[in-house]
Amino acid sequence: MKKRVVVTGMGLVSCFGSEVKNFYDALLAGKSGIEEISAFDASELPTRIAGQVRDFDIGGYLDRKQARRVDPFIRYAVYAGKRAVEMAKLDLDTVDKTRCGILVSTGMGGMKTFFEGSQTLIEKGYKRISPFFIPHIISNMGGGILAIDLGFEGPNYSLSTACATSNYSFINAANHIRNGDADLMVCGGVEAPIGPIAVAGFIACKALSTRNEDPHGASRPWDKGRDGFVIGEGAGVLCLESLDHALARGAPILCEYLGGAINCDANHITDPKPDGSGVASCMELAIKNAGIEREQINYVNAHATATQVGDLCEIRAVKSFFGDHAKNIKMNGTKSMIGHCLGAAAGLEAIATISAIQTGKVHPTLNLENPEEETAGIDLCQGEAQDLQVNVAASNSFGFGGHNSTVLFGPYANS
């Protein structure tokens, strides 16, 4: 019998703001957070749109002087982590902090700090490099500063598996709890890539949409008119906790983490296996880890980036894995509204998935006007939000390098 793990808190930073309810209300309403880039002058670039965090205020969640110094990804990580702890109603004066850990990861780290430091080196010389340059670009520092502020002395590290980063963090954090290393883990992902170097890099990969004249219509998962993903940013963080620990302190239980799995396509640096077999086998491993049957899953929050290759590979995987049961599943693409938040994507999508469990409503897939023929037989939540009593939800995320991940959540049952 595996130790049961529950979700007791959520925190986020997104293009729809920093409140979980407002974030999910915007998704249910089918709003788009994609707009013209204002973080830097993108006027000469072929892609000038993004799911950008705007008007973010760290408030009292980080010292003001430190907040001005650190990279945005660190600000987002600390804010989302502390909001998750706040929602979990954790008493920091009484909890055993040696049994509390942090696994808040990022795919790319401090890109703004790295870019500005590189410019300084070239234009002004090494003596003008900030002494904070290294601490503010390394990927573990979001969780490191969060731990310093909270006093958490349990497992603390960051991992990077590109766009699957958050799911890998959830799975590893849950395993720490199941293995007895910790009672509580603050975990998820963060990314702040909207700057010249990251956007230009993805343009060079020919990965981004160039639908600049129609930002709200640019992210089009499964649609025949899709032309690449829209880059996004933010943070999505959960408070995972052993059920015994949560019950003992009277914590709010939002849902149950049932299990998850990871594997690798070992196929190509950016493209998944065309037949989706790596993804299908990852979902198979996830249900074995959770100890459930595939027929219990009735909602899939898809990776669905709006790339030519990736979208249909996931469709093939879902059809292969679920077989005839695929017709009973609702599947949607959160990225159609917030863009692809890279290392934070699975974190924000986990919050959308858990919100669906809580509200009994799944959000629509935006901009799905002319679906690919291969999607026939799967309800992709086209057009508007739908009512659904979620039995078990799967959230898929995949990353460059062939990294596959699936996590499973379900309503909490006290029996």
Q: Among this protein's residues, is 340 annotated catalytic? A: yes
Amino acid (one-letter) located at 153:
E
- 220 Cβ contact list (under 8 Å, min separation 6): 209, 226, 227, 306, 336, 367, 368, 369
Name the 3-class secondary structure at 298: strand
Strand partners, 106: 190
Q: DSSP state, 271? A: P
Q: How far apart are CA 311 and CA 396, in angstroms?
A: 12
Name the 3-class secondary structure at 53: coil
Catalytic site residue from 15, 100, 136, 163: 163
Instruction: Please check whether residue 363 is in contact with residue 333, taking contact to mean a CB–CB distance below 8 angstroms.
Output: no
Could you tell me which of 332, 380, 171, 168 has the C-alpha nearest to residue 257? Answer: 171
Could you tell me which of 265, 330, 298, 324 has the C-alpha nearest to residue 408? Answer: 298
Q: Among this protein's residues, is 15 annotated catalytic? A: no
Q: How far apart are CA 59 and CA 136, in angstroms?
A: 20
Q: Among this protein's residues, is 303 annotated catalytic? A: yes
Residue 304, phi-psi category: left (phi > 0), alpha (psi -120 to 50), beta (remainder): left
The structure tokens listed for 356 are 């669906």
- 371 Cβ contact list (under 8 Å, min separation 6): 222, 223, 224, 380, 382
The neighbour count for residue 68, using CB atoms within 10 Å, is 10
Q: How far apart are CA 166 and CA 164, in angstroms?
A: 6
Name the 3-class secondary structure at 49: strand
Q: How far apart are CA 282 and CA 266, in angstroms?
A: 13
Q: How far apart are CA 61 and CA 358, in angstroms?
A: 27
Instruction: Please check whether residue 238 is in contact with residue 103, taking contact to mean a CB–CB distance below 8 angstroms.
Output: no
Catalytic site residue from 303, 313, 381, 403: 303
Beta strands 234-242; 184-191: pairing state: antiparallel
Catalytic site residue from 136, 176, 245, 340: 340
Main-chain phi, psi angles of 116, to 5 degrees:
-65, -35
User: Which whole-number Å values give the CA distances from 311 to 220, 239, 272, in the listed order?
Assistant: 10, 30, 10
Residues with catalytic annotation? 163, 303, 340
